[in-house]
Amino acid sequence: MTGTRGVARAARQMRRLALHVLVPAVGAAAPLAVVPAVTSTAGAAGWAAIAVGLSVGVAAAVVAELGWGIVGPQRVVRQPAARSRLYAAALASRLVAVVLTTPLAAVVTGLVVVEHRPAAVLVAVGVSLGALSPAWFFIGLGRPVVVLLAETSPRVVTSLASAVAIVHGAPLEVYGSGLIVSVVAALALASLLDDAARPPRRRDFAGVPATLREQRVLVLGRAVTTTYKSLPSAMLGGVAPGAVAGFAAVDRPLRMGLQVVSAVPDRLQTWVGHPSPGLARRRSLWSLLANAVLGLVVGVAFATLMPSVGRLLFTGAVDVPPTLAVWGGVLAGVVCASRGAGLALVSAGRPGCTTLAASCSAAVGVPGLLVLGERAGAAGALAALAAAETVGLVVQLVAVAHRRGGHGPGSHGPGSHGHVRGSHGRPDDLVPPT
């Protein structure tokens, strides 16, 4: 009987993990359909313009999201009765943020891009509005199917429709327009699928200053992070415009691939965010190991496959040589490992340490990208980003080790629960979900 229950439990976990993988995989596949449509009709110049719009839009979205994608899921896990209030507070604060960041994204994109400027600006606006995504909320509730229906499906439909329209002669502007429509549709569907995902009211907007104060350190870290994670294409366009298409040919598929494998840290967020501090710390160590192994696998796969994939994806308009693919693989591996360290710090109640790590990474990444990008083109830019991510990972690991040394598992310092075996005393509570 015990064996049967164990098999059933493992089967349920496998189904849940499959859903968590499916959601970002489908979400990443949709933009990939647009890439060959753009390169086959507008060439490398069209791709470079769209890539800059994506870069600036993602940067604006990262800042306007205000860190809810990091702290939100674990808050929903720990305060399920307050989920409606959390959703409304998050949406109100992000609406205020996008009012400020979206026009700025449009202006920056317009200044950097010369060819296909209106299309690039619309893409930047559409992507920046993605800060309003309700995905974090349903991840915290452990409902990946709702994420697929409410957030991923509108993006897939509009992206595929845009790709077909562009191939048949529509202007590149239809892609950015579709992104804007998908954001509106996602918010509407979220409120229909869950009553707790309600629009914010006046009192929710009144609480925005308090939300900003509470998460200001995390927001600062996100703002710093975006300078070297999301803006490289735009910055490279300022010092080496000819390298943008090649760099983006690695960077964009890399970010989309990282979006797919984000299913692992997403799944671990609710598992690591356990109310018991002792168990949460031990689960954080499992999370670190799982993400490090994932990084090794992803990095090797990307370095090996990207040259062949690039020839198909960019229809011969942009080349991805092995050197760029290897640097992309190194970058992917370090990013995966860094996500595990970030989860451990958030679980330990120290999200501010991620800001320190981001600041150190930016101090290396921004000047490194500008200098190496100008001298060595796309390869230099990717090498600078890999070095920046490595610095950030080391800083986070030092912070995690310091936490473990002071109040690690088995200690009896403040916040420790001693030798906690699990929420119900089960040893298998320490086994990561499959």
Q: What is the pLDDT of residue 276?
A: 62
What torsion do the CA atoms of 82, 83, 86, 90 make, to the nearest 10 degrees? -170
pLDDT value for 189: 93
Q: What is the pLDDT, as a whole number, of residue 1?
A: 53
Q: Are 317 and 43 in contact (CB under 8 A)?
A: yes
Indicate the angle between helix axes 322-347 and 68-78, nearest 10 degrees: 40
- pLDDT, position 82: 81
Torsion of CA 156, 158, 164, 168, to 10 degrees: -170
* Angle between the N-to-C axes of helices 153-167 and 2-64, in degrees from 0 to 180, rounded to the nearest 10: 60
The model's pLDDT over 331-346, given as tens digits with 9 standing for 90+, comes to: 999 999 998 888 778 7
**Which amino acid would we find at residue 347?**
S
Grouping H, G, I as helix, E, B as strand and the rest as coil, residue 123 is helix
Distance between CA atoms of residues 124 and 347, nearest Å: 33
Render pLDDT for 188-226 as a digit per residue (tens, 0 to 9): 999 998 888 888 888 889 888 988 888 887 777 777 777
Q: What is the pLDDT of residue 22?
A: 65
| Whole-number Cα distances in Å, 62 to 74, 105, 209, 303, 361 | 18, 12, 19, 27, 16
Token pair of 153 as six digits: 């499906």
Nearest residue to 121 (alpha-carbon basis) of 234, 256, 286, 10: 234
The one-character DSSP state at 65 is T
Measuring CA to CA, which residue among 60, 191, 201, 186 is closest to residue 131? 60
Q: Which two tokens stand for residue 6?
A: 């164990």
Which segments in the chain show pLDDT lower than 50?
406-434
Q: Could you give the 3-state DSSP secondary structure of residue 232?
A: helix
Q: What's the per-residue H, E or C state across the chain?
A: CHHHHHHHHHHHHHHHHHHHHHHHHHHHHHHHHHHHHHHHHHHHHHHHHHHHHHHHHHHHHHHHCCCHHHHHHHHHHHCHHHHHHHHHHHHHHHHHHHHHHHHHHHHHHHHHCCCCHHHHHHHHHHHHHHHHCCHHHHHHCCCHHHHHHHHHHHHHHHHHHHHHHHHCCCCCHHHHHHHHHHHHHHHHHHHHHCCCCCCCCHHHHHCHHHHHHHCHHHHHHHHHHHHHHCCHHHHHHHHCHHHHHHHHHHHHHHHHHHHHHCHHHHHHHHHHCCCCHHHHHHHHHHHHHHHHHHHHHHHHHHHHHHHHHHHHHCCCCCCCCHHHHHHHHHHHHHHHHHHHHHHHHHHCCCCHHHHHHHHHHHHHHHHHHHHHHHHHHHHHHHHHHHHHHHHHHHHHHHHHHHHHHHHCCCCCCCCCCCCCCCCCCCHHHHCCCC
